[in-house]
Amino acid sequence: MSETILITGGGGNLACQLSFLLVERGAKVVLTDVAPQPTAPCDPSCEYIAGDLRTSGLIEDLVARHKPTTVIHFASLLSGSSEVDRAVAWEVNMTGAFRVFESAVAHGVRKVLFPSSVASFGTPLPEVVADDCPQWPVGFYGVTKVAVERIGHYYHHRHGVDFRCLRVPITISAYANPNAASSYASQVFMQTLRDGRFSFLVRPTAKPALIYVRDLLRAFLLLMDAPRENLTRCVYNVHGLSPTAAEIADAVRQRLPDAQIDFTPEASVADLIDSWPQQFDDSPARRDWGWKPAYVLDGLADDFLATLSKG
Protein backbone atom coordinates (compact mmCIF):
# COMPACT_ATOMS: atom_id res chain seq x y z
CA MET A 1 0.00 0.00 0.00
CA SER A 2 1.39 3.41 -0.93
CA GLU A 3 2.00 6.03 1.74
CA THR A 4 -0.68 8.70 2.17
CA ILE A 5 0.47 12.18 3.12
CA LEU A 6 -1.87 14.98 4.19
CA ILE A 7 -0.49 18.51 3.83
CA THR A 8 -2.21 21.42 5.53
CA GLY A 9 -1.53 24.80 3.99
CA GLY A 10 -1.52 22.68 0.87
CA GLY A 11 -2.21 25.54 -1.52
CA GLY A 12 0.97 27.36 -0.58
CA ASN A 13 4.48 27.66 -1.90
CA LEU A 14 6.29 24.80 -0.17
CA ALA A 15 3.40 22.35 -0.15
CA CYS A 16 2.80 22.64 -3.89
CA GLN A 17 6.47 22.21 -4.76
CA LEU A 18 6.86 19.32 -2.34
CA SER A 19 3.85 17.56 -3.86
CA PHE A 20 5.77 16.74 -7.05
CA LEU A 21 8.60 15.09 -5.12
CA LEU A 22 6.25 13.10 -2.90
CA VAL A 23 4.17 11.81 -5.81
CA GLU A 24 7.36 10.92 -7.66
CA ARG A 25 8.20 8.68 -4.70
CA GLY A 26 4.86 6.89 -5.01
CA ALA A 27 2.91 8.68 -2.27
CA LYS A 28 -0.74 9.59 -2.40
CA VAL A 29 -0.89 13.30 -1.52
CA VAL A 30 -3.92 15.15 -0.15
CA LEU A 31 -3.65 18.94 0.04
CA THR A 32 -5.95 21.14 2.09
CA ASP A 33 -5.99 24.93 2.31
CA VAL A 34 -8.37 27.83 2.84
CA ALA A 35 -7.69 29.05 -0.72
CA PRO A 36 -10.21 27.79 -3.29
CA GLN A 37 -7.33 26.71 -5.55
CA PRO A 38 -3.57 26.20 -5.01
CA THR A 39 -1.55 29.38 -5.40
CA ALA A 40 1.27 27.50 -7.17
CA PRO A 41 1.40 24.51 -9.52
CA CYS A 42 1.09 21.16 -7.76
CA ASP A 43 1.20 17.58 -8.99
CA PRO A 44 -2.03 16.92 -10.91
CA SER A 45 -2.56 13.59 -9.16
CA CYS A 46 -2.99 15.31 -5.79
CA GLU A 47 -6.42 15.66 -4.25
CA TYR A 48 -7.06 19.27 -3.25
CA ILE A 49 -9.66 20.06 -0.59
CA ALA A 50 -10.56 23.67 0.15
CA GLY A 51 -11.40 24.26 3.79
CA ASP A 52 -10.76 26.61 6.70
CA LEU A 53 -8.50 25.15 9.38
CA ARG A 54 -10.51 27.12 11.94
CA THR A 55 -13.61 25.03 11.17
CA SER A 56 -14.16 22.56 13.96
CA GLY A 57 -13.97 18.99 12.70
CA LEU A 58 -12.21 19.74 9.38
CA ILE A 59 -8.83 18.23 10.25
CA GLU A 60 -10.40 15.42 12.26
CA ASP A 61 -12.57 14.47 9.28
CA LEU A 62 -9.69 14.61 6.79
CA VAL A 63 -7.45 12.45 8.97
CA ALA A 64 -10.23 9.95 9.67
CA ARG A 65 -11.24 9.76 6.00
CA HIS A 66 -7.83 9.59 4.32
CA LYS A 67 -5.89 7.81 7.07
CA PRO A 68 -2.55 9.50 6.33
CA THR A 69 0.63 7.94 7.60
CA THR A 70 2.21 11.42 7.73
CA VAL A 71 0.77 14.90 8.20
CA ILE A 72 2.89 17.84 7.06
CA HIS A 73 1.48 20.86 8.86
CA PHE A 74 2.33 23.94 6.78
CA ALA A 75 -0.86 25.93 7.49
CA SER A 76 -0.05 29.23 9.20
CA LEU A 77 -0.67 32.94 9.10
CA LEU A 78 2.62 34.67 8.27
CA SER A 79 4.37 37.37 10.26
CA GLY A 80 2.60 40.47 8.94
CA SER A 81 -0.89 38.94 9.03
CA SER A 82 -0.28 37.59 12.51
CA GLU A 83 0.42 41.08 13.80
CA VAL A 84 -2.62 42.56 12.07
CA ASP A 85 -5.06 39.99 13.50
CA ARG A 86 -3.69 38.11 16.49
CA ALA A 87 -7.01 36.42 17.17
CA VAL A 88 -7.09 34.78 13.73
CA ALA A 89 -3.39 33.96 14.01
CA TRP A 90 -4.05 32.16 17.27
CA GLU A 91 -6.89 30.14 15.77
CA VAL A 92 -4.91 29.15 12.67
CA ASN A 93 -1.41 28.78 14.10
CA MET A 94 -2.23 27.43 17.55
CA THR A 95 -5.70 25.86 17.58
CA GLY A 96 -5.03 24.43 14.12
CA ALA A 97 -1.82 22.74 15.32
CA PHE A 98 -3.59 21.41 18.43
CA ARG A 99 -6.25 19.80 16.23
CA VAL A 100 -3.58 18.23 14.03
CA PHE A 101 -1.87 16.63 17.03
CA GLU A 102 -5.13 15.47 18.60
CA SER A 103 -6.20 13.91 15.29
CA ALA A 104 -2.81 12.21 14.98
CA VAL A 105 -3.26 10.62 18.40
CA ALA A 106 -6.86 9.61 17.74
CA HIS A 107 -6.21 8.02 14.34
CA GLY A 108 -2.68 6.65 14.66
CA VAL A 109 -0.84 9.04 12.35
CA ARG A 110 2.81 7.97 12.52
CA LYS A 111 4.57 11.26 11.77
CA VAL A 112 3.82 14.96 12.00
CA LEU A 113 6.26 17.31 10.25
CA PHE A 114 6.23 21.02 11.00
CA PRO A 115 8.17 24.03 9.69
CA SER A 116 9.27 26.41 12.41
CA SER A 117 11.08 29.63 11.54
CA VAL A 118 13.96 32.01 12.10
CA ALA A 119 11.25 34.22 13.60
CA SER A 120 11.11 31.89 16.61
CA PHE A 121 14.26 33.59 17.92
CA GLY A 122 14.39 37.10 19.31
CA THR A 123 17.23 39.54 19.74
CA PRO A 124 20.05 39.96 20.59
CA LEU A 125 21.44 36.66 19.37
CA PRO A 126 24.89 35.06 19.26
CA GLU A 127 26.73 35.04 15.92
CA VAL A 128 25.91 31.35 15.49
CA VAL A 129 22.51 30.19 16.74
CA ALA A 130 22.47 26.66 18.14
CA ASP A 131 19.44 24.35 18.24
CA ASP A 132 18.96 25.04 21.93
CA CYS A 133 19.54 28.79 21.85
CA PRO A 134 16.93 30.54 24.02
CA GLN A 135 13.91 31.60 22.00
CA TRP A 136 12.33 34.95 22.86
CA PRO A 137 10.60 36.05 19.62
CA VAL A 138 9.62 39.66 19.11
CA GLY A 139 6.68 38.95 16.77
CA PHE A 140 3.42 37.09 17.35
CA TYR A 141 4.14 34.75 14.44
CA GLY A 142 7.40 33.71 16.08
CA VAL A 143 5.61 33.22 19.39
CA THR A 144 3.23 30.72 17.79
CA LYS A 145 6.11 28.88 16.12
CA VAL A 146 7.90 28.40 19.46
CA ALA A 147 4.67 27.25 21.07
CA VAL A 148 4.02 24.61 18.41
CA GLU A 149 7.60 23.35 18.74
CA ARG A 150 6.93 22.79 22.45
CA ILE A 151 3.50 21.26 21.85
CA GLY A 152 5.01 18.86 19.32
CA HIS A 153 7.69 17.90 21.83
CA TYR A 154 4.93 17.17 24.37
CA TYR A 155 2.93 14.99 21.98
CA HIS A 156 6.07 13.08 21.03
CA HIS A 157 7.12 12.25 24.57
CA ARG A 158 3.69 11.88 26.16
CA HIS A 159 1.60 10.41 23.32
CA GLY A 160 4.14 8.80 20.96
CA VAL A 161 3.57 11.07 17.94
CA ASP A 162 6.74 11.06 15.82
CA PHE A 163 7.07 14.84 15.67
CA ARG A 164 9.79 16.24 13.41
CA CYS A 165 10.44 19.93 12.89
CA LEU A 166 12.74 22.10 10.79
CA ARG A 167 13.53 25.67 11.70
CA VAL A 168 13.28 27.16 8.23
CA PRO A 169 15.45 30.12 7.23
CA ILE A 170 14.21 32.71 4.74
CA THR A 171 13.46 30.66 1.64
CA ILE A 172 14.33 31.82 -1.86
CA SER A 173 11.54 30.59 -4.13
CA ALA A 174 9.51 31.64 -7.14
CA TYR A 175 6.37 31.44 -5.02
CA ALA A 176 7.54 33.38 -1.97
CA ASN A 177 4.76 35.52 -0.51
CA PRO A 178 5.43 39.01 -1.92
CA ASN A 179 3.90 40.61 1.18
CA ALA A 180 6.30 38.93 3.59
CA ALA A 181 9.24 40.98 4.88
CA SER A 182 11.54 38.09 4.04
CA SER A 183 10.52 37.97 0.37
CA TYR A 184 13.22 40.48 -0.67
CA ALA A 185 15.67 37.61 -1.21
CA SER A 186 13.33 36.09 -3.82
CA GLN A 187 11.81 39.25 -5.26
CA VAL A 188 15.15 40.80 -6.21
CA PHE A 189 15.62 37.98 -8.73
CA MET A 190 12.00 37.89 -9.88
CA GLN A 191 11.29 41.60 -10.22
CA THR A 192 14.65 42.42 -11.77
CA LEU A 193 14.23 39.72 -14.37
CA ARG A 194 10.68 40.89 -15.10
CA ASP A 195 10.97 44.69 -14.74
CA GLY A 196 14.69 45.41 -14.89
CA ARG A 197 14.67 47.06 -11.47
CA PHE A 198 14.27 46.37 -7.77
CA SER A 199 14.37 48.43 -4.58
CA PHE A 200 15.39 46.73 -1.33
CA LEU A 201 13.46 47.66 1.81
CA VAL A 202 16.25 46.12 3.91
CA ARG A 203 19.72 47.53 4.55
CA PRO A 204 22.66 46.51 2.33
CA THR A 205 24.25 44.86 5.37
CA ALA A 206 21.23 42.65 6.13
CA LYS A 207 22.37 39.02 6.14
CA PRO A 208 19.81 36.72 7.78
CA ALA A 209 20.07 32.99 7.24
CA LEU A 210 18.72 31.94 3.84
CA ILE A 211 18.06 28.68 2.05
CA TYR A 212 17.24 27.91 -1.58
CA VAL A 213 13.93 26.12 -2.02
CA ARG A 214 15.53 23.11 -3.72
CA ASP A 215 17.69 22.59 -0.65
CA LEU A 216 14.78 23.09 1.72
CA LEU A 217 12.58 20.55 -0.04
CA ARG A 218 15.42 18.06 0.08
CA ALA A 219 15.85 18.77 3.80
CA PHE A 220 12.19 17.95 4.46
CA LEU A 221 12.51 14.66 2.60
CA LEU A 222 15.73 13.74 4.39
CA LEU A 223 14.20 14.43 7.79
CA MET A 224 10.97 12.64 6.90
CA ASP A 225 12.87 9.53 5.81
CA ALA A 226 15.41 9.41 8.66
CA PRO A 227 15.05 6.39 10.97
CA ARG A 228 13.63 7.57 14.28
CA GLU A 229 16.44 5.85 16.15
CA ASN A 230 18.95 8.12 14.41
CA LEU A 231 17.26 11.29 15.64
CA THR A 232 18.54 12.83 18.85
CA ARG A 233 15.91 15.57 18.97
CA CYS A 234 12.55 16.62 17.51
CA VAL A 235 13.50 20.10 16.28
CA TYR A 236 16.44 20.81 13.97
CA ASN A 237 18.06 23.92 12.59
CA VAL A 238 18.99 23.91 8.91
CA HIS A 239 21.24 26.49 7.31
CA GLY A 240 21.83 27.29 3.67
CA LEU A 241 23.81 30.51 3.25
CA SER A 242 24.07 34.05 4.65
CA PRO A 243 24.99 36.58 1.95
CA THR A 244 24.33 40.24 2.62
CA ALA A 245 21.60 41.96 0.64
CA ALA A 246 24.39 43.87 -1.13
CA GLU A 247 26.03 40.58 -2.16
CA ILE A 248 22.71 39.29 -3.50
CA ALA A 249 22.30 42.51 -5.45
CA ASP A 250 25.79 42.08 -6.93
CA ALA A 251 25.02 38.48 -7.92
CA VAL A 252 21.92 39.66 -9.78
CA ARG A 253 23.79 42.54 -11.48
CA GLN A 254 26.51 40.15 -12.67
CA ARG A 255 23.88 38.10 -14.47
CA LEU A 256 21.60 40.97 -15.50
CA PRO A 257 24.05 43.82 -16.21
CA ASP A 258 21.34 46.36 -17.05
CA ALA A 259 19.54 45.87 -13.76
CA GLN A 260 18.68 48.94 -11.70
CA ILE A 261 18.89 47.91 -8.06
CA ASP A 262 18.89 50.30 -5.13
CA PHE A 263 18.27 50.38 -1.39
CA THR A 264 15.48 52.40 0.25
CA PRO A 265 15.28 50.77 3.69
CA GLU A 266 11.95 50.86 5.48
CA ALA A 267 12.64 50.85 9.20
CA SER A 268 9.96 48.36 10.25
CA VAL A 269 11.05 45.84 7.61
CA ALA A 270 14.79 46.44 7.95
CA ASP A 271 14.73 46.22 11.75
CA LEU A 272 12.74 42.98 11.65
CA ILE A 273 15.15 41.33 9.20
CA ASP A 274 18.17 42.58 11.16
CA SER A 275 16.74 40.93 14.29
CA TRP A 276 16.68 37.47 12.69
CA PRO A 277 19.52 34.93 12.97
CA GLN A 278 22.44 35.23 10.57
CA GLN A 279 23.72 31.68 10.89
CA PHE A 280 22.29 28.48 12.27
CA ASP A 281 24.43 25.75 13.76
CA ASP A 282 22.96 22.79 11.90
CA SER A 283 25.56 20.23 12.97
CA PRO A 284 22.93 17.97 14.64
CA ALA A 285 21.02 17.76 11.32
CA ARG A 286 24.25 16.98 9.48
CA ARG A 287 25.13 14.29 12.02
CA ASP A 288 21.71 12.68 12.50
CA TRP A 289 20.24 12.62 9.00
CA GLY A 290 22.93 13.65 6.55
CA TRP A 291 21.90 17.24 5.89
CA LYS A 292 24.20 19.42 3.79
CA PRO A 293 23.15 22.33 1.54
CA ALA A 294 23.94 21.98 -2.16
CA TYR A 295 23.63 25.64 -3.19
CA VAL A 296 25.87 28.61 -2.48
CA LEU A 297 25.07 32.06 -3.86
CA ASP A 298 26.52 31.69 -7.37
CA GLY A 299 24.91 28.32 -7.98
CA LEU A 300 21.64 29.53 -6.51
CA ALA A 301 21.60 32.66 -8.69
CA ASP A 302 22.34 30.67 -11.85
CA ASP A 303 19.72 28.02 -11.15
CA PHE A 304 17.02 30.39 -9.91
CA LEU A 305 17.29 32.80 -12.82
CA ALA A 306 17.36 29.91 -15.29
CA THR A 307 14.22 28.45 -13.68
CA LEU A 308 12.46 31.83 -13.73
CA SER A 309 13.40 32.38 -17.38
CA LYS A 310 11.69 29.14 -18.35
CA GLY A 311 8.46 30.51 -16.92
- Sign, CA torsion 254/256/259/262: negative
Q: What is the C-alpha to C-alpha distance for residues 278 and 239, in angstroms, rounded to an integer?
A: 9
Query: Could you give the C-alpha distances from 168 to 107, 132, 250, in angstroms and in order?
Result: 28, 15, 25
In the chain, count H helices and then E strands.
12, 11
Calculate Rg over the CA atoms of the chain: 19
Active-site residue flag, 141: yes
CA separation for the pair 206, 214 (Å, rounded): 23
Alpha helices in the chain (DSSP H): 13-24, 58-66, 79-84, 86-89, 96-107, 140-159, 184-195, 213-225, 245-255, 267-274, 283-289, 297-309
Residue of 141, 175, 236, 295 marked catalytic? 141
Nearest alpha carbon to residue 234 among 276, 288, 171, 279: 288
d(CA 122, CA 59): 31
The Cα 273–Cα 263 span in angstroms is 14
Residues serving a catalytic function are 141
